[in-house]
Structure 1
C-alpha cells in the first residue's frame, strides 16, 4: 500500500529537502485582520490551510512594535512572517526554517504581498543559520543578530531534545531589557512542562509564563529583562 500523500507531506515539513512532489496551490487567508493571497505546497508545515495553532498565536499575541528586528522561527510558508511584516512595515522581519521549499514560498509570498521588509534565512537541522543559502530568495543572516520580537509555532514533532536545542539556539538572541518571544504549543504536546523547563534553562534574566490559552493551545511568553 502506498503512502498517503497528505501524511507524507506532513512528515517531511522539517526536512531540508522535501521529497514529496512540489504541487503549488493558492490560498486566500486573513492574517490578523489583513487579507492576503499566498502560495503553498506539499512538504511544508500545514501546506493546505492556516494551522489552528498558528491562528491562535496570530489572534492572541500582542501588537508588535512599529519597528525593530523580528524573527519567525520555523516559518513554513510564511503566515507568521507576513503577519509581522504587514503589521510593522518599518521592522526587519527574519524568517528561518530548515526546509528550502518553505523558505522559497515565504520569500515569494512576501513579494506577492508587498512585504519588502522580509528576509528569509536557512538553518541547519539544529537551528543554526547557514553561512551560504541554498534556497531561492534567501539571505545570510548577520552573525550575532539580536531580536526585539520572536513569534513561533515551533516544530514540536521533531522531538523534545531537538526542540529544546532549537529553542535554546534562538531565545538567548532576544535583545536585553525587553526582547520578547511568543510561542504557541499544544497543551497535550507538552506546553505546560515546557514553561518551567525554559525558565530553568534561560535563568534569572528571563521571565517565562503562560500568556494565553485557547482551543487546546498555550501561548508562552518569554521576556528578557537583562
Structure 2
C-alpha cells in the first residue's frame, strides 16, 4: 500500500517529465479528484494509505494530463468567478481572462441580455447569478455545448431565467437586449499551430477559429458588429472578448457599426481583453 504523499510525488514527477508547467498544482488537483474530496482537504489525506481504486483513478488522470488533456476536462469542472462550472471536451475551458468581460458587464444596468456562443454558459450564468432580476438568452451552434450550458444552469439555480437555444449567431434570436456579450472564436488559422496542445488538440475548434477565417481571426466580430444594432435596445451595450492584438481592429468594427462610447478593457496581465460600445438612443 502506498501513502498519499508518495503517490502525489509520483504524479508530480510524471508531469514534470512531460514538461508541463504547474505540475505540482495539477497533481494535487488530480489526486483530490481521484479521492473524491475537496482540494482544500487533500493535505489531511496525504498520510493515509491509498486504496487500489484511488491509485488507478489517479494514474489514469496523470496519464491524461501528461498527454496534455486540460485538467478541467479530466476532473469535469472549472472554477470561474467564484463558481464551479461543468466542463467537457465540447466546450471551451472558461479562463480567468474572461472575468474581465464579466466585470465590465456588471458595471452597467441590464435586465435582459444575450450571450452569443455561450459554450459552457460561464458568461451568461455568471451574469444571471450576479443579477437575480435579470433574464438571459444564451445561444450556440453546438447542441453538445448547449447541453453542458443547460446542466450548468440547473446546477447553479439559474435555469428559470436562462433561455438556452441553438442559433448560428443571431439567426434564431428575437427581440432587443440591454446587453449583448460574446467570447467568440478569434484565433486566426495561422496561429492555431502555435497554440499549446492543451488548447489546439483538446478544445473544440469551432470555439477557437471562426468560420470563413481570412487569417485575422476577425470574422466573428465582423458578423456580430454588422448585426448587433438590430438587437440592441436604446443605450444597450455590446461587449466582446478579444485576442490581445485585436483591440484596434475590433474598435474600428464597432465604429463602423455606429456604436458610441467605445472603450477597451484590460485583463490582469495588462493585455487588451474587452471591446465595448453603446448603441445610439
Q: Provide the TM-score with structure 2 as the length reference.
A: 0.58
Give the corresponding residue for 1:172. Answer: 230
Match runs of 1:13-24 below 5 Å: none
Report the CA distance shift for 1:119/1:59 in structure 2 as closer, same or farther (over 3 A): same
| Alpha-carbon distance between aligned partners in 2 of 1:36 and 1:149, rounded to the nearest angstrom | 22
**What secondary structure does 2:242 align onto?**
strand
Which string of whole-angstrom CA distances, capped at 9 and with x for unpartnered residues, describes residues 5-50 of structure 1? 879x9xxxxxxxxxxxxx785325242xxx323211103222xxx2
**What secondary structure does 1:187 align onto?**
coil
Q: Structure 1 stretches of 5 or more lacking a match?
A: 10-22, 131-140
Q: Higher RCO, 1 or 2 (CA under 8 Å, sep at least 6)?
A: 1
Query: Which structure carries more helix by proportion?
Result: 2
Give the corresponding residue for 1:117. Answer: 161
Determine whether 1:146 maps to 2:196.
no
Q: Provide the TM-score with structure 1 as the length reference.
A: 0.70
| Alpha-carbon distance between aligned partners in 1 of 2:147 and 2:121, rounded to the nearest angstrom | 10
**Contact 1:64–1:88 at 8 Å: present in 2 too?**
no
| Alpha-carbon distance between aligned partners in 2 of 1:129 and 1:40, rounded to the nearest angstrom | 26
Determine whether 1:191 maps to 2:247.
yes
How far is the alpha carbon of 1:162 from its aligned partner?
Answer: 4.3
Q: Structure 2 stretches of 5 or more lacking a match?
A: 1-66, 187-208
Give the corresponding residue for 1:222. Answer: 277
Which string of whole-angstrom CA distances, capped at 9 and with x for unpartnered residues, describes residues 116-163 of structure 1? 211111113xx2334xxxxxxxxxx5x3x1000122212212033344
CA RMSD of aligned residues (A): 2.6
Give the corresponding residue for 1:213. Answer: 266
Report the CA distance shift for 1:207/1:111 in structure 2 as closer, same or farther (over 3 A): same
Higher Rg = 2
How far is the alpha carbon of 1:199 from its aligned partner?
Answer: 0.7
How far is the alpha carbon of 1:173 from its aligned partner?
Answer: 1.0
Report the CA distance shift for 1:224/1:111 in structure 2 as closer, same or farther (over 3 A): same
How far is the alpha carbon of 1:93 from its aligned partner?
Answer: 0.5
